[in-house]
Amino acid sequence: MLGYLTLIFSCQLAGELFVAATALPVPGPVIGMAILFAGLLGFGGLPRELASVADELLANLSLLFVPAGVGVILHMTLIGRDLLPISAALIVSTVLTVAVTALMMGWLNPPSAGGDKPQSEGEAH
């Protein structure tokens, strides 16, 4: 378990180092996730123990939002001063995210020609 946790954090560190070295406008953890994904493709699948470690991290993900929440409370006066632009950015980004997600779902999972219920071989046409 500790080895797979180290692997996950090592990929994140590699992503951070790559972003720092290249000055890419992409978050380091995103690059780290791509590195991990490429490694899993090369490995040929997701080891069960790695999935278990990732599930435990996801189960405790809410703990990682505590520092962000403290930061929001700490800068409440700045947020209050720029409430309109922040609200507009949140609304526009949410609408765009929903729209892009719907378009991607439609593109990746087109509706079947026969409707929702597939017919079995024994049914009449």
Q: Break the chain into its structural domains and give their ranges.
A: 1-59, 65-109
Average pLDDT score, the chain: 89
Instruction: State the pLDDT at residue 31.
Output: 95
| pLDDT band, residue 116 (cuts 50/70/90) | low
pLDDT on residue 6:
95
Task: Please name which of 18, 3, 9, 61 lies closest in space to residue 36, comparing C-alpha atoms.
Answer: 9
Q: Which residues contact 86 (CB under 8 A, 6 or more apart)?
A: 79
Structure confidence at residue 45 (pLDDT)? 87
pLDDT at residue 111, as a whole number = 75
Q: Does the predicted TM-score (pTM) go above 0.75? A: no
What token pair was written down for 114? 């026969």
CB-CB neighbours of 79 under 10 Å = 13
- Given a cut of 90, whether residue 68 has pLDDT beyond it is no
66-87 mean pLDDT: 90
Mean pLDDT, rounded, for 31-41: 95
Q: Is the pLDDT of residue 119 over 80?
A: no
Find the mean pLDDT for residues 76-101: 94
Instruction: Summarize the confidence of residues 48-75 as an average pLDDT.
Output: 90
Mean pLDDT over residues 100-120, rounded? 77
The answer to whether 15 and 3 have CB atoms below 8 angstroms apart is no
Confidence of residue 33 (pLDDT cuts 50, 70, 90): very high
